[in-house]
Amino acid sequence: MKLYGKEFTTQELLKRVGDISQIGGIRLLEMIDGQARGVRVAELKNACGIDMRILIDRGMDISDLRFNSVPLAWKSSVKETSPMYYDKDGLELLSTFYGGLLVTCGLTYAGAPCNDDGEELGLNGRIANIAAENITIDNRWEENNYILSIKGTVRQSKIFFENLELKRQITVPIDEAKITIRDSIENLSSRTTPLMIIYHMNFGFPLLDSSAYIIGTAGKPLPITDEAAKNISDFNVFAGPVKDFSEHVFCHDIPAGNDGCSNIALINEEFNSGQGLGVLLKYKKETLPYLNQWKQAGFGEYVLGLEPANCRTYGRKLSREKGELEFIEPGEVKEYMVELNILKDLSAIDRVKKLLK
C-alpha cells in the first residue's frame, strides 16, 4: 500500500506502529449532549484524510464527512438528533433532518407526503430513524491493504404491514479516499410490499460554491417542481447563497458504463486557490435507475443533494399511478451499491472529466 508518499508492505508498516489504529480505524462512541443524547455512533478515520461519523441509531446513515479536515457534507441547523424525536406526519421529518452525507429514505415510501391507497404517508419514510442492531466491526487485511468495515442490520417492521430487513456494510480502504456502501433488503413477510429507497447524499460548502458544477449527466433532466422547470438550463451550475431561494428538484436517467454503474461528479476546480476538490458518485444502475437532484441555495440551507434511487421524489401515490412503483416479493432480496470517491486535486478531477466527457 502507499501511505504518506511511500510504498509499504504489511510487515514493513506493522514494524512501525504498535497498533494499526495509529494509522486508521473505527471506534464506537455515544453522544451525550442535547437532542443527540444517547445516540450511538461509529467514528471512522483512514490514513489519507477521511474522517466520518456513522449514526448507528439512525439507520447507519452518515452525518459527517471530512477530508483532510475539509467538510464535504452539508449540516442543517437541526444537527444530529435522537430518533426519539422523529415525527412521521407530513413534513415533520424536517425537524430531525440533520443533512449530513447520507440520509436513507424509505423503505416502503419515500419522497413527498401523500395519501396512497388510504394510508397517510409523511416525508421520506421511516428507515433513517430506526436503530441498527448486530453491529460488527470487521477491519481486516486483504493482501497488502487494510480495509475498514462496519456492518449492521436495520429492521423496518409493522404488524399487518411490512417486515423488511436492511443489511448495510460500509467499507473504506485505509489508503484510499473511497467509501463504499453495500445494502441488501429482504422481505421477511408473507406480503408483497412496496419498496422505495433514496440515498439522499448532501454536499455543502466549501466543496459547493459559486465555482462548482456537475458533470456526468446525460442531457437535461426531468424537472419535478415548477421552480426546477423554470431554471432547467442552470441545473448543473451554482451561484452563492440567495435569500428566500425556492428549491429546484430534478431527476436524471444516467446511462450505465461497462461495469453496470452510473456516474456523476460534483467539481470545484477553484477550491483553495486552484488546488481543486470534487466527489465522484457511482451507483449500480440495475437497482437504482434514477438520480434525483436537490438544489437548494438559501441562506444557511446551501446544499446540493445527489440521490441515487429506485424512485422519483413525488411520492408513492404518483409513483403508483405512473406505473413506476417497485415491489418486493416475500423472501426476495434486492442488492444496492453506492460508492463515493473523493477527488483531492486537479489531477484527480482531470481523470474524472476524461472518464465522463
Q: Is the pLDDT of residue 66 over 90?
A: yes
- What's the CATH code of the domain at 286? 2.70.98.10
Helices first, then strands: H and E counts in the chain: 5, 26
**Is 40 exposed, middle or buried (CB count within 10 Å of its CB: 0-12, 13-18, 19+)?**
middle
DSSP β-ladder status, 50-55 and 40-45: antiparallel
Let me know: does 338 contact 309? Beta carbons within 8 Å.
no
pLDDT of residue 357: 79
Question: What whole-number distance in Å separates Cα of residue 103 and Cα of residue 83?
Answer: 13
| Neighbouring-strand partners of residue 191 | none
* Chain segment 257-310, per-residue pLDDT in tens: 999 999 999 999 999 999 999 999 999 999 999 999 999 999 999 999 999 999
Let me know: does 97 contact 78? Beta carbons within 8 Å.
yes
Locus of grid cell 424536517:
94
How many domains does the chain contain in total?
1
pLDDT of residue 75: 97
* Chain segment 76-130, per-residue pLDDT in tens: 999 999 999 999 999 999 999 999 999 999 999 999 999 999 999 999 999 999 9
* Chain segment 140-170, per-residue pLDDT in tens: 999 889 999 999 999 999 999 999 999 999 9
Locus of grid cell 444496492:
336
**Looking at the whole model, is its pTM more than 0.75?**
yes
DSSP string, 11-80: HHHHTT-SSGGGT-EEEEEE--SGGGTT-EEEEEE-TTSEEEEEETTTTTEEEEEEETTEE-B-B-TT-S
Average pLDDT across the chain, whole number: 97
pLDDT of residue 308: 98
Determine the structural domain holding residue 278 and report its residue range: 2-356
Distances (CA, A) of 142 to 64, 152, 182, 289: 27, 21, 18, 32
**Which candidate, 302, 305, 301, 310, places its Cα nearest to that of 281?**
305
pLDDT of residue 68: 97
pLDDT of residue 219: 86
Phi, psi of 96 (to 5 degrees): -125, 15
Sign of torsion, CA 261 60 304 46?
Answer: negative
pLDDT of residue 218: 86
Grid coordinates belonging to 14: 506493522
Which 3 state secondary structure label does DSSP give 137?
strand
| Neighbouring-strand partners of residue 322 | none
- In the chain, % of residues over pLDDT 90: 98
pLDDT of residue 114: 98
Question: What whole-number distance in Å separates Cα of residue 256 and Cα of residue 261?
Answer: 5
pLDDT of residue 288: 98
* Chain segment 220-242, per-residue pLDDT in tens: 899 999 999 999 999 999 999 99
